[in-house]
C-alpha cells in the first residue's frame, strides 16, 4: 500500500517517489494513481523521469494520467525538454502525454519528430501531431506524413494510415496524388488509407493486401 504524506512543505513526498520505483508493478500503479489524485506539481519531475524507464504499459498509462492532472505550466516545459532525450521511450511517452494534455503550443516541437529514427517515437509523433496540429497546417502535415506511404511493416503502415485518416478531408489531395504514384507499394498503401478514411470500420489488412494486388497487376500492364 502506498503511504502518502499530506504535508505540503519541502519536496515531493518521499514515500510516493519511492513507491513509483518499487519492483512490484501493482505498487507502482497504485503510486501513479495516488500521484494523480494528489495533483502536486512538485511530482512533475519524478513522473516524467519515471515515464522514460517504466516497463509496464498500464503503469505508463497511469503516469500519463497523473501528469495530465497537473497544471500545464508545470508539465509542458518539462515534457518539451524530454523530446530531446537520447532515450526513445522518453521521447515517445512525452509525445503521448503532450497529445493528451492538448497544449497546441507544443506543435512545433512535436512536428520535428515526425521522422524520428525509432519507429515507436515516429508513431507517437504522428498521433500527437494529428491531435495538436493547427487547422491551417493540416494540409502541410498530411503532405509530410504521406512521404512515408508504402514503407514499414503492417503496424507502421496502419499507424500512418490512422494518422492520415485522422486529418479528414485535408488528407484527400495527398492520398489522391499517392494513388497515382509509380511505386505500387505507395499506391496500395494510399488506396487502403483512403478506404480507412472513408470507412473507419474497414479491415485495413484486407484493404492493403487487395490494393497491393491491384497495384502490382496494374504496373505489369
Residue 78 lies in a domain: no
Which of 96-100, 155-159, 189-193 has maximum average pLDDT? 96-100
The model's pTM is 0.85
Residue 146 lies in a domain: yes
Residue 38 lies in a domain: no
> Residue 202's pLDDT is what?
72
* pLDDT > 90 fraction of the chain, expressed in percent and rounded: 82
DSSP SS3 for 167 = coil
Residue 64 lies in a domain: no
- Is the pLDDT confidence value at 48 over 70? yes
Integer angstrom CA distances of residue 152 from 63, 145, 158, 172: 30, 13, 10, 22
Which range is least confidently modeled, 34-38, 41-45, 143-147, 212-216? 212-216
Contacts of 149 (CB under 8 A, 6+ apart): 160, 178, 181, 186, 189, 190, 193
- Is the pLDDT confidence value at 168 over 90? yes
Supply the range of the domain harboring residue 178.
Answer: 137-221
- Is the pLDDT confidence value at 208 over 80? no
Residue 48 lies in a domain: no
Residue 193 lies in a domain: yes
> Residue 207's pLDDT is what?
54
> Residue 45's pLDDT is what?
96
Phi, psi dihedrals of residue 113, rounded to the nearest 5° = -110, 15
DSSP SS3 for 28 = helix
> Residue 8's pLDDT is what?
47
Distance CA 73, CA 57 (A): 26
> Residue 203's pLDDT is what?
63
Higher pLDDT, 197 or 213: 197
Residue 59 lies in a domain: no
pLDDT confidence bin for 219, thresholds 50/70/90: low
Mean of the pLDDT values across residues 120-143?
Answer: 97
Nearest partner of 76 among 100, 51, 46, judged by Cα: 100
pLDDT confidence bin for 7, thresholds 50/70/90: very low
Contact 90/96 with Cβ under 8 angstroms?
A: no
Residue 186 lies in a domain: yes
- pLDDT for 62-87, tens place per residue? 999 999 999 999 999 999 999 999 99
Please state the domain count of the chain.
1
Amino acid at each position: 500500500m502506498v503511504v502518502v504524506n499530506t504535508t505540503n512543505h519541502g519536496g515531493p513526498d518521499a514515500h510516493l517517489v519511492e513507491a513509483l520505483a518499487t519492483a512490484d508493478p501493482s505498487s507502482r500503479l497504485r503510486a501513479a494513481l495516488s500521484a494523480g489524485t494528489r495533483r502536486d506539481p512538485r511530482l512533475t519531475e519524478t513522473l516524467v523521469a519515471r515515464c522514460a524507464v517504466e516497463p509496464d504499459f498500464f503503469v505508463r498509462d497511469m503516469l500519463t494520467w497523473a501528469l495530465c492532472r497537473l497544471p500545464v505550466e508545470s508539465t509542458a516545459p518539462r515534457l518539451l525538454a524530454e523530446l530531446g532525450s537520447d532515450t526513445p521511450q522518453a521521447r515517445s511517452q512525452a509525445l503521448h502525454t503532450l497529445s493528451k494534455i492538448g497544449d497546441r503550443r507544443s506543435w512545433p516541437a512535436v512536428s520535428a519528430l515526425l521522422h524520428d529514427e525509432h519507429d515507436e517515437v515516429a508513431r507517437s509523433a504522428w498521433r500527437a501531431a494529428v491531435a495538436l496540429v493547427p487547422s491551417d497546417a493540416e494540409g502541410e502535415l498530411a503532405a509530410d506524413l504521406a512521404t512515408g506511404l508504402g514503407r514499414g511493416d503492417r503496424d507502421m503502415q496502419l499507424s500512418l494510415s490512422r494518422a492520415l485518416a485522422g486529418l479528414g478531408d485535408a488528407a484527400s489531395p495527398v492520398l489522391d496524388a499517392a494513388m497515382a504514384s509509380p511505386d505500387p507499394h505507395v499506391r496500395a498503401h494510399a488506396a487502403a488509407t483512403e478506404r480507412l478514411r472513408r470507412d473507419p470500420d474497414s479491415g485495413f489488412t484486407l484493404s492493403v493486401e487487395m490494393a497491393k494486388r491491384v497495384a502490382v497487376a496494374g504496373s505489369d500492364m
